[in-house]
Amino acid sequence: MTEQSPHGRGRTKPARRHGPRIALAAVTTGAVAAVSLIALSGTAHAASTLGASAAAGGRYFGTAVAANHLGEASYAATLDAEFNAVTPENEMKWDAVEASRNTFTFSAADQIVGHAQSKGMKIRGHTLVWYSQLPSWVSSLNATDLKSAMDNHITQVMRHYKGEIYAWDVANEAFQDGGSGARRSSPFQDKLGDGYMEEAFRTARAADPDAKLCYNDYNIDGVNAKSNAVYAMVKDFKARGVPIDCVGLQGHFNSQSPVPGDYQQNLQRFADLGVDVQITELDVAGSGTAQANSYSTVVNACLAVSRCTGMTVWGITDKYSWRSGDTPLLFDGNYAKKAAYTAVLTALGGSDSGGTSAGTTNGGTSAGTTNGGTSTGTTNGGTTNGGATGGGTPPAGQGCTAAFRLVSAWTGGYQVEVSVLNSGSGALSGWTTAWTQPSGQTIANLWNAVQGTSDGRTTAHNAAYNGQLAVGASTTFGYVVNGGPPPTSLTIDCQSA
Ligand code: XIL
């Protein structure tokens, strides 16, 4: 199906968004039974990207995208490898699309929409009615004119993308901070009064009935005066049949505004009003474990709320973040995955090891830098390993060594990667590793190997597909532990089969 836009631009709509991922899940579910893996997410090979991991749970994982960076190879490659939804960071705002009254410019936004569609990504539209990034001609209109300019803006922009936008932020940041619960002053509020909001939502529904219509704001992450005011508005809209489908919680967190303790509860209370909730602009100032933990908390809260349909981070790389000094994103300035990345992926049920010996490279997309120890501030166990010990003598020349590496740690858990190296002089057709789990720490999920026990120790032997190792070759497996603290090193014995 192709829509010819009013501007002569044809776009091919994605036929299937998650087809290949669903197929993969079905195949790997079979593999679970075959090798008796314990899998939290229901797939043996946990997905190895943010988007695929979220999709396995029926959600999207998106990012804000700036059109002017799409030409940068690492930017586009990381976007395409990791994310399955986009939000144009600035390109759909009023000043970008209608700088002069009734003259619409969609070129930059179209670039993002076209890119996203070619990759089967969902698109969030951001944003239609907002006091900021608003051209001065709008502010100078009288009430009658302003209402018709607002309706025209919503109608023209939404029609241009009709059928192509998953959810629109119809209104953005319309409430004041602090305890008043009042509406924020804006040309719309000041000249049209509270009623402009439902006018905007009704106009939006008429313009594109298939798009979900969201109210989006910041500092509404916990239960507070501002979120109470938004809650009351949504409740009123639902009661009176004013069309609203979702609430977007921006999720800009820092030390002054950390993830609130009642975050999940707050998401749930909105969902209980009969709207979806989405985390729309997530970023967390900081670094290392603290940052990673905040990200995990947000992801886990969304996953725990069935109507939380997806999460979007506000940018790909720290270097292009709107708050780049806060290093708030999942990839550093060189597109290396940060501890926060691993925490999000793990929370989503994914795994960086992803079934290849490449293990922690970032999806072949960019620098290929490994993550874990360096950015978490946690100790990287690295080289501790043991040779072949116990349980019989392997054939001459055969041997393996196993090395422990702490990938990431968070409150109450951590993730380990074990690399198994054929350190002998003959090919290996199988291997078994063994180690002593720290007491009280249980393995929640192990992948790319088959878990067992022997003499009170934990064992993991090769899966069907990674037992054969040429001389000098290596493979990896991984596991997640419930409990802590993580050991700084761990002796893992390895024996050839
Ligand atoms: C920000 C963009 O990231 C910046 O590039 C721009 O200069 C200002 O706007 N809340 C929102 C987003 O809804 O649109 C804002 O985006 C960040 C705060």
In the chain, how many H helices and how many E strands? 14, 19
- Please tell me the least confidently modeled range out of 52-56, 122-126, 232-236, 414-418: 414-418
Ligand 1 closest atom vs CA 314 = 3
- SS3 category, 327: coil
pLDDT, tens only, 65-104: 999 999 999 999 999 999 999 999 999 999 999 999 999 9
**71 and 194 housed in the same domain:** yes
User: Is residue 144 in some structural domain?
Assistant: yes
64 contacts 315 by C-beta, under 8 angstroms: yes
Q: Residue 450 is part of a domain; what is its CATH number?
A: 2.60.40.290
Q: Residue 343 is part of a domain; what is its CATH number?
A: 3.20.20.80
pLDDT, tens only, 43-65: 356 799 999 999 999 999 999 99
Domain end call among 325, 347, 369: 347
User: Is residue 74 in some structural domain?
Assistant: yes
Q: Compute the chain's Rg from CA coordinates.
A: 25
Task: Read off the pLDDT band of 473 (50, 70, 90).
Answer: confident
Domain end call among 347, 365, 395: 347
pLDDT attached to residue 377: 29
Tokens of 350: 């994914």
**108 and 198 housed in the same domain:** yes
Question: What is the Å distance from ligand 1's center to 322 Cα?
Answer: 7
> How many whole angstroms separate alpha carbon 21 and alpha carbon 53?
9
DSSP per position, 340-397: HHHHHHHHTT--TTTTSTTTTS-TTSS-----SHHHH-S---TT----S-SSSPPPTT
User: Is residue 210 in some structural domain?
Assistant: yes
Please tell me the chain's helix, strand, coil percentages from 3-state DSSP, rounded to the nearest 5: 30, 25, 45
70 strand-pairing partners: none
Ligand 1 closest atom vs CA 252 = 18
- SS3 category, 438: coil
Close Cβ partners of 254 (under 8 Å, ≥ 6 residues apart) = 284, 285, 286, 326, 328
Close Cβ partners of 183 (under 8 Å, ≥ 6 residues apart) = 174, 175, 176, 189, 194
- For residue 321 and ligand 1, the question of a CB distance below 6 A is answered with no
User: Is residue 27 in some structural domain?
Assistant: no
**325 and 191 housed in the same domain:** yes
- For residue 69 and ligand 1, the question of a CB distance below 6 A is answered with no
- The catalytic position among 91, 198, 281, 417 is 281
Q: Which domain holds residue 179?
A: 50-347
**257 and 316 housed in the same domain:** yes
- For residue 281 and ligand 1, the question of a CB distance below 6 A is answered with yes
**240 and 333 housed in the same domain:** yes
**399 and 332 housed in the same domain:** no
User: In total, how many domains does the chain have?
Assistant: 2
pLDDT attached to residue 76: 98
Instruction: Please name the helix (run of DSSP H) or strand (run of DSSP E) that holds residue 68, with its range, or none.
Output: none
- The catalytic position among 82, 98, 173, 198 is 173
> How many whole angstroms separate alpha carbon 342 and alpha carbon 173?
31
Burial of 269 (C-beta count, 10 Å sphere; 0-12/13-18/19+): middle
> How many whole angstroms separate alpha carbon 331 and alpha carbon 352?
14
**322 and 423 housed in the same domain:** no
**343 and 426 housed in the same domain:** no
Query: Ligand 1, from 249, 281, 313: best to mutate by most atoms within 8 Å of Cβ?
Result: 281
**171 and 297 housed in the same domain:** yes
Which residue has the CA at smallest separation from atom 5 of ligand 1?
322
Question: What is the Å distance from ligand 1's center to 141 Cα?
Answer: 24
Strands 308-313 and 252-253, by their bridges, are: unpaired
**395 and 289 housed in the same domain:** no
**457 and 322 housed in the same domain:** no
- SS3 category, 497: coil
Average pLDDT for 486-492: 87
User: Is residue 59 in some structural domain?
Assistant: yes
User: Is residue 67 in some structural domain?
Assistant: yes
Which residue has the CA at smallest separation from atom 3 of ligand 1?
322
Is 173 an annotated catalytic residue? yes
Tokens of 37: 């893996």
- Please tell me the least confidently modeled range out of 63-77, 261-275, 290-304, 387-401: 387-401
123 strand-pairing partners: 86
> How many whole angstroms separate alpha carbon 366 and alpha carbon 136?
41
Question: What is the Å distance from ligand 1's center to 445 Cα?
Answer: 38
> Up-side HSE of residue 43: CA atoms within 13 Å toward CB?
24
User: Is residue 392 in some structural domain?
Assistant: yes
**247 and 177 housed in the same domain:** yes
Tell me what percent of the residues of the chain surpass a pLDDT of 70: 82
- In which residue are the tokens 């419930």 written? 482
Is 198 an annotated catalytic residue? no
pLDDT, tens only, 385-439: 333 333 344 455 678 889 888 877 777 888 788 888 888 888 888 999 999 999 8
Instruction: Please name the helix (run of DSSP H) or strand (run of DSSP E) that holds residue 22, with its range, or none.
Output: helix 19-35
- For residue 322 and ligand 1, the question of a CB distance below 6 A is answered with yes
244 contacts 201 by C-beta, under 8 angstroms: yes
Burial of 103 (C-beta count, 10 Å sphere; 0-12/13-18/19+): exposed
pLDDT, tens only, 334-347: 999 999 999 999 99
User: Is residue 43 in some structural domain?
Assistant: no
Domain end call among 287, 319, 347: 347
Task: Read off the pLDDT band of 450 (50, 70, 90).
Answer: confident
